[in-house]
Amino acid sequence: MNFKTLILLSLILLGGICTGCDRFLDVQPKDQYTEKQLLATPGGYYTAMNGLYNNLTSNSLYGKNLSYELIDVISKRYAPLAKSTYLTSLNSWGYAEENVSKALESTWATAYTTILNCNVILENLATQQGILSPAETNLMKGELLALRAFLHFDMLRLFGPIYKEDPSAPSIPYNESVKIMNLPLLSADSIVHNKIMRDLDEAEKLLAKDPVIPEGPMASALEDENEVYLRYRQLRMNYYAVLALKARVYLYAGEKDKALQAAYKLLKDKTVSEWFPPVDPNKLLANNVDPDRVFSTEVLMGIYMKKRGDIYTYSFDAENAGNNFLQPRNSFVDGNLFAGETQDYRYQSQWAQATSIGVTGHIFTKYKAIQDGDAKLFYSSFMPLIRLSEMYYIAAECEPKVSDGNSWLNQIRTLRGLPEITITDENELMSKLRIEYLREFWGEGQIFFMYKRLFVNILNTENGHNTSTYGASAARYVPPHAGQRNRKPLKQHIMKTKKILYLFLLPLIFTACETKDIPVYTSDDAALYFQRTASYIWGSTTVTYSNSTEFTFAGAAAEKNSVTYSAEVRTMGNVTDYDRPFKVEIDKEMSTGIQGVHFDTNLDTLKIKAGKSNAYVRITFYRTPDLLDSTLTVVLHLIENEHFNARIDEYKKTNQWNSSSENLDGTRYTFKFNEQYSEPTYWSWFGEGFLGPWTPQKYIVVNSVMGWTVNDWSQAGQAGAKVSYGRLGFAAKAVRNYLQEQADNDTPVKDKDGSYMQLADGYTVDYSRYE
Round the CA-based radius of gyration of the chain to a whole number and report it.
29
Rounded Cα distance between 200 and 205, Å, is 9
> In the predicted model, what is the mean pLDDT of the chain?
85
Helix (H) or strand (E) holding 215: helix 212-215
Coil vs helix vs strand at 12:
helix
Tallying the residues shown for the chain, one arrives at 771
Element of type H or E holding 581: strand 580-581
Does residue 538 sit in helix, strand or coil? coil
What values do phi and psi take at 581, rounded to 5? -65, 150
pLDDT (0 to 100) of residue 559: 75
| Confidence (pLDDT) at 309 | 92
Comparing 348-357, 493-502, 576-585, the range with the smallest average pLDDT is: 493-502
The predicted pLDDT at position 520 comes to 32
| Structure letter (DSSP) for residue 683 | I
What is the predicted pLDDT for the residue at 372? 66
Q: Which of 557-566, 680-689, 728-737 has the highest mean pLDDT?
A: 728-737
- Residue from 143, 112, 188, 6 nearest 488 by CA: 112
Say whether pLDDT at 497 is over 50.
no
Stretch 323-348: mean pLDDT, rounded? 93
In DSSP notation, 121-153 reads: HHHHHHH--SSS-HHHHHHHHHHHHHHHHHHHH
- Return the minimum-mean-pLDDT range out of 168-182, 382-396, 546-560, 698-712: 546-560
Query: Which domains are delineated in the chain?
Result: 280-383 (no CATH), 526-674 (2.60.40.2030), 681-770 (no CATH)
Half-sphere exposure of 668 (CA within 13 A, CB side): 16
Q: Are residues 320 and 77 in contact, defined by beta-carbon separation less than 8 angstroms?
A: no
Of the CA atoms within 13 Å of residue 618, those in its CB half-sphere come to 8
Q: How far apart are CA 65 and CA 438, in angstroms?
A: 18
700 contact partners, CB below 8 Å, separation of at least 6 = 558, 677
Question: Are 12 and 47 contacting, i.e. CB atoms less than 8 angstroms apart?
Answer: yes
Determine the Cα–Cα distance for residues 21 and 40; give it in Å rounded to an integer: 21
Q: How far apart are CA 298 and CA 370, in angstroms?
A: 19
222 has a pLDDT exceeding 90 = no
Going through 249-343 in order, the beta strands assigned E by DSSP cover 299-304
pLDDT for the residue numbered 221: 52
H or E element at residue 706: helix 696-706
Instruction: Let me know: does 528 contact 521? Beta carbons within 8 Å.
Output: no
Separation between Cα atoms, residue 529 and residue 669, nearest integer Å = 9
- For residues 456 and 468, give the distance between their C-alpha atoms in angstroms, rounded to a whole number: 14
| 739 against 25, higher pLDDT | 739
pLDDT at 188: 97
More confident site: 770 or 223: 770
- CA-to-CA distance for 627 and 636, rounded, in angstroms? 20
Residue 442 in contact with residue 75, Cβ under 8 Å?
no
Least confident of 77-91, 610-624, 735-749: 77-91
Give the pLDDT score at 518.
Answer: 28
Sign for the CA dihedral angle at 53, 58, 64, 70 comes to negative
Provide the strand spans (E) within 447-537.
Answer: 526-530, 532-533
- What's the confidence (pLDDT) of residue 393? 98
To the nearest 10°, report the CA torsion of 321, 322, 324, 328: 80
More confident residue, 498 or 451: 451
Contacts of 629 (CB under 8 A, 6+ apart): 676
Distance of alpha carbon 693 from alpha carbon 668, whole angstroms: 42
Task: Give me the helix-helix angle, 42-56 and 3-16, nearest 10°.
Answer: 80
Q: Which of these ranges, 33-42, 605-614, 652-661, 734-743, has the smallest mean pLDDT?
A: 652-661
Q: How far apart are CA 246 and CA 20, in angstroms?
A: 40
Strands 651-652 and 532-533 come out as: unpaired
DSSP track, 22-65:
GGGGGSPSTT---HHHHTSSHHHHHHHHHHHHHHHTSTTTTTTT
C-alpha to C-alpha distance for 263 and 243, rounded to whole angstroms: 8
Give me the pLDDT at residue 539, please: 44
The pLDDT of residue 303 = 95
- 644-645 and 526-530 as β-strands: parallel, antiparallel, unpaired? parallel
What pLDDT is stored for residue 36 in this prediction? 63
- Asked if residue 397 lies in contact with residue 404, where contact means CB atoms within 8 angstroms, the answer is no
Amino acid sitting at position 281: P
Is the confidence at residue 229, as pLDDT, over 90? no
Do 2 and 34 contact (CB within 8 A), yes or no? no
CA torsion 17→23→24→28, rounded to 10°? -80
The residue among 128 and 274 whose pLDDT is bigger is 274
Identity of the residue numbered 148: R
According to the model, what pLDDT value does residue 14 have?
A: 47
CA distance 747 to 491: 74
| pLDDT computed for residue 523 by the predictor | 37
pLDDT at 536 over 60: no
Would you tell me the crossing angle of helices 3-16 and 98-127 to the nearest 10 degrees?
Answer: 100
Lowest mean pLDDT among 377-386, 465-474, 521-530: 521-530
Amino acid letter, 435? I
To the nearest 5 percent, what fractions of the chain are helix, strand and coil?
Answer: 45, 10, 45
40 Cβ contact partners less than 8 Å away, ≥ 6 residues apart: 128, 131, 575, 611, 612, 613, 614
pLDDT at res. 509? 32
Q: What is the 3-state secondary structure (H, E, C) of 330-379?
A: CCHHHHHHCCCCCCCHHHHHHEEECCCCCCCCEEECCCCCCCCCCCCCHH
Name residues whose C-beta falls within 8 Å of residue 120's C-beta, 6 or more positions apart in sequence: 4, 7, 8, 35, 178
One-letter amino acid at 451 equals Y
Nearest-angstrom CA–CA distance, 497 and 491: 10
According to DSSP, residue 74 is labeled T
Residue 79 identity (one-letter amino acid): A
Flag the least confident range among 194-208, 362-376, 393-407, 587-601: 362-376
Q: Provide the 10 A C-beta neighbour count for residue 515.
A: 9
| Inter-CA distances, 603 with 600, 617, 673, Å | 10, 8, 20
Task: Please give the average per-residue pLDDT across 415-425, as a whole number.
Answer: 95
**Closest of 479, 475, 483 to residue 173, by C-alpha:** 483
**In angstroms, rounded to a whole number, what is the distance separating the alpha carbons of residues 187 and 183?**
13
Lowest mean pLDDT among 86-95, 324-333, 410-419, 554-563: 554-563
Interacting residues of 753 by C-beta distance below 8 A, sequence separation 6+? none
d(CA 170, CA 186): 5
Which range has highest mean pLDDT (293-302, 363-372, 646-655)?
Answer: 293-302
Which range is least confidently modeled, 184-193, 202-211, 309-318, 514-523?
Answer: 514-523
Residue 635 half-sphere exposure toward CB, CA atoms < 13 A: 12
The pTM for the full model equals 0.65
How far is 438 from 420, CA to CA, in rounded Å? Answer: 19
